[in-house]
Structure 1
Amino acid sequence: MLSRTANNIYWMARSLERAENMTRLLDVSHNMALMPNSRGGQQELLAPLSITGRRDQFHARHDKVSTEALLEFFLFDESNDGSIFSCIQLARANAHSVRDRLSAEAWESINTTWLELRHRRHRSINHEGVKGLFDWIKQRSHEFRGAAYGTMLHNDAFLFMRLGTFIERADNTARILNAKLEVMAGERDSNQAIDFYQWNALLQSLGAYEAYHYSYTGGLSARNVTELLILSAQLPRSLRYCVGAIMEQLSSIEGSQGLAAKRLCSELHARLQYGEVDYILEFGLHDYLNDLLRRINTIGDEIHRSYWEGA
């Protein structure tokens, strides 16, 4: 496969996954900020800015933080390359350049999403309509993955698409955990009812609400949430699952390239496979997640160097 083609497919998948991840984060932050008597309303509004590292960019365009300004910035602002609009625009552009590598159904799914999003952009954002928009974006993401998985050849193009999806998902999970879980676990004097909603909101933002309540009994705890979202071998958005999927895609890509990325990924997967939650908490969740983020980014850099640097 040409390096340029692999690069386009990889970033198409990363951009689509980033759009879905941002949608999940905005959905939960928006709901938490609107909770009556929420002590963390302002913090919830700031969470997407902290997680994406775009606080300075936001304040350069907006005088104060508000729900309306944040939604506009992360939904439709073209100057923000991390907005949902920008991500889907980039994904569609990459998909268009590799249409011959996609099935007709996969291409139609992403193209229709882009056309409809442009139309929705011209509608006013209001609290009553935001939830429907979030659900629509998530549904379109699921539809594309289903179409691609069910109709594309499972060849190198498919493997690079999956590789991009899981690299982006691993990065997102680590960032959300780093920004939210440690803060929540460190709180002491707090309202238990509000804490319940915050724990559930964190799980919902990573699509893990039902999985948690299936896996654990006795309520919500920092230890169990940490174990599930970092070490679970079965949760599709856990760090262990994502790194395992990255390793699987790299191992299946034909050719002798990517040996450094494969080695680094195997080392990280072993670290997670044999990891223990008590060690993570003793080590320090913030430091542990920062180390994971560094390792994930290094694997991404090695993938770039191995497969398409200079293409």
Structure 2
Amino acid sequence: MLSSVAERLYWMGRYLERAEDSARLVAAYNHLIMDIPRAAELGWDVLIRILDAEPLFYQHYRVGNEQNVLRFLLAEQDSSASIPFAVRWARENVRTTRDVLPEETWEQINELHLYVSDAAEKSVGRRNRQAFLEEVISRCQRVNGMLSSSLPRDHAHRFLRLGHLLERSDMTTRLMDVGTGEILKRNGTHEAIDPLIWTSLLQALSSFGAYRRMIGPLVEAQQVLEFVFQEPLLPRSVAFCLAEIRAELKPLNNHEKAMRTLARGRRKLGKLQPEHMSREALHAYIDEFQALLADLHDAITASWFQPDTP
């Protein structure tokens, strides 16, 4: 397989996962904001912080209010943090790799792109927002389901999965970093609504039902953190994603650098003990873990997309 094709498949996986995860995040927060008292709200700008898009956002907007944040995330075509941007680039990467993907892939991703292009601007207001987000999630799942059921388990599948899994790990750690920081810094104020916020974090990861079935009905900080980071059976946990990344890397030639970086990440993950960590220590831990994910991306890029780079 050409390195350029492998790279496009990898980024297709990343952008498609980013579009779905961003839609889940906004939908979960949209529900949360309706359930908690106004005085206890986190503010809409928390979504910008989760996506690490503050510098870009404040180039165009002065205030992180609901209208500005939702326009930035749902309607801006050229914002790298927006759903339309992620969908457009997922489509572009499919367009240039159509010969290694099932025929239906182009049709479905193009339909997703056309839908987002048509409906994004109208989704900023509350009337159409939730329907738009649910449709984006459903269409992303449709593409992923079709690929899962019909794409041969060859190198094309491996690079697509690597992008998909690495993006999911990155989004999960960002969400938990900012979300838990916002909760823990309250120091007891509005603590009655903290379970609602933890529940919203789980819903943003499509993991609330799994948590209740595997852990129990009480949604508490330590259990949520351990579940989202370390549960090996949860498809959206960091532990599950890293194990699957390892499985996809093993059959590839020249995987030594990426496997070493991945091993560092898995060792780091095993050291997480949220019950013994302060808010500052937890934030530092997640920052270091995100740096490891960035190193893994760099190792994958150097090994297969730029193999001749010294």
Range of TM-score over shorter length: over 0.9
Deviates more, 1:70-79 or 1:181-190: 181-190
Deviation per CA, 1:118-160: give whole Å up to 9, x if none.
Answer: 2213536321211111111111111111100111111000100
Offset at residue 300 of structure 1 (A): 0.4
Offset at residue 182 of structure 1 (A): 3.1
Once the two structures are superposed, the pairs formed by residues 234-253 of structure 1 within 5 Å of their partners are 234-253=233-252
Offset at residue 176 of structure 1 (A): 0.8
Instruction: Report the Cα distance in structure 1 between the residues aligned to 2:43 and 2:115, rounded to whole angstroms.
Output: 29
Instruction: Report the Cα distance in structure 2 between the residues aligned to 1:197 and 1:262, rounded to whole angstroms.
Output: 38
Question: TM-score normalised to the size of structure 1?
Answer: 0.92
Decide which of 270, 273, 294 is 1:277's aligned counterpart. Answer: 273
Offset at residue 99 of structure 1 (A): 0.3
Once the two structures are superposed, the pairs formed by residues 20-169 of structure 1 within 5 Å of their partners are 20-35=20-35, 37-41=37-41, 43-121=42-120, 123=122, 125-169=124-168
Residue 197 (structure 1) aligns with: 196
Q: Is the 8 A contact 1:32 1:44 kept in 2?
A: no
- The one-letter amino acid of 1:281's match is M
Structure 1, unmatched stretches of 5+, are none
Instruction: Report the Cα distance in structure 2 between the residues aligned to 1:238 and 1:124, rounded to whole angstroms.
Output: 30
- The one-letter amino acid of 2:12's match is M
Instruction: Report the Cα distance in structure 2 between the residues aligned to 1:165 and 1:124, rounded to whole angstroms.
Output: 26
Offset at residue 310 of structure 1 (A): 6.8
What SS does structure 1 have at the residue aligned with 2:236?
coil
- The one-letter amino acid of 2:295's match is T
Given the superposition, is the C-alpha separation of residues 133 and 278 from structure 1 closer, same or farther in structure 2, using an over 3 Å criterion? Answer: closer
Q: Is the 8 A contact 1:243 1:269 kept in 2?
A: yes
What SS does structure 1 have at the residue aligned with 2:122?
coil
- The one-letter amino acid of 1:27's match is A
Q: Is the 8 A contact 1:231 1:275 kept in 2?
A: no
Quick check: 1:287 aligned with 2:266? no
Q: Is the 8 A contact 2:122 2:128 kept in 1?
A: no
Residue 308 (structure 1) aligns with: 305
Instruction: Report the Cα distance in structure 1 between the residues aligned to 2:63 and 2:185, rounded to whole angstroms.
Output: 28
Q: Is the 8 A contact 2:222 2:275 kept in 1?
A: no
Q: Is the 8 A contact 1:230 1:240 kept in 2?
A: yes
Instruction: Report the Cα distance in structure 2 between the residues aligned to 1:121 and 1:220, rounded to whole angstroms.
Output: 33
Q: Is the 8 A contact 1:250 1:262 kept in 2?
A: yes
Offset at residue 36 of structure 1 (A): 5.0
Deviates more, 1:119-128 or 1:88-97: 119-128
Q: Is the 8 A contact 1:170 1:238 kept in 2?
A: yes
What SS does structure 2 have at the residue aligned with 1:123?
helix
Residue 13 (structure 2) aligns with: 13
Instruction: Report the Cα distance in structure 2 between the residues aligned to 1:34 and 1:19, rounded to whole angstroms.
Output: 23
Q: Is the 8 A contact 1:14 1:167 kept in 2?
A: yes
Given the superposition, is the C-alpha separation of residues 179 and 144 from structure 1 closer, same or farther in structure 2, using an over 3 Å criterion? Answer: same
- The one-letter amino acid of 1:302's match is A
- The one-letter amino acid of 2:264's match is E
Question: TM-score normalised to the size of structure 2?
Answer: 0.92
Deviation per CA, 1:3-61: give whole Å up to 9, x if none.
Answer: 000000100110111111111111122233334523342x3401111122222322222
Instruction: Report the Cα distance in structure 1 between the residues aligned to 2:255 and 2:164, rounded to whole angstroms.
Output: 17
Corresponding pairs, count:
307
Matched residues, percent identical?
A: 25
- The one-letter amino acid of 2:6's match is A
